[in-house]
Structure 1
Amino acid sequence: YTDLTFQDGDFLVFGKETKGLAPEILAEHPDSLMRLPMTDAVRSLNLSNAAAIVLFEALRQTGFQELS
């Protein structure tokens, strides 16, 4: 997620904790997918934690615009 370059206007889409994104979405956007690195000791991250990690990185890269 830190290897990606986030830009203004990007959309972040998250799947269910148990199933991820629908196969149709994955097939339609194969070059726009990313994964968060995790240890083998955990099955998945809580969705709110995953969203917070990625959103923070996207905001960091875009300069935290419009936040006070």
Structure 2
Amino acid sequence: MSAHKRRSGGSKARRAIRQSKAKKAVVRPGLETGNYKPLSEHDIKKIHHTALEVLENIGISDPIPEILNHT
């Protein structure tokens, strides 16, 4: 009588292992977030200044009432 070694696992076993593992939190308590800064402060100020210049020199066509009442 030959002893056949059975393979462990299978799709059900692998699925059970994946589901049993706790999901790691992306941001754990105590960690700071918001460190990704694609633009420097200087770049943000340049964009803001340019947007204000466009509004001042070109304006808005057909402004909504909230904009008209704000000035």
Fold-level similarity (TM above 0.5): no
**Structure with the greater relative contact order (CA < 8 A, sep ≥ 6): 1 or 2?**
1
TM tier relative to shorter chain: under 0.3
TM-score (norm 2): 0.26
TM-score (norm 1): 0.27
Look at both structures and tell me which one has the larger radius of gyration over its CA atoms. Answer: 2
Bigger helix fraction:
2
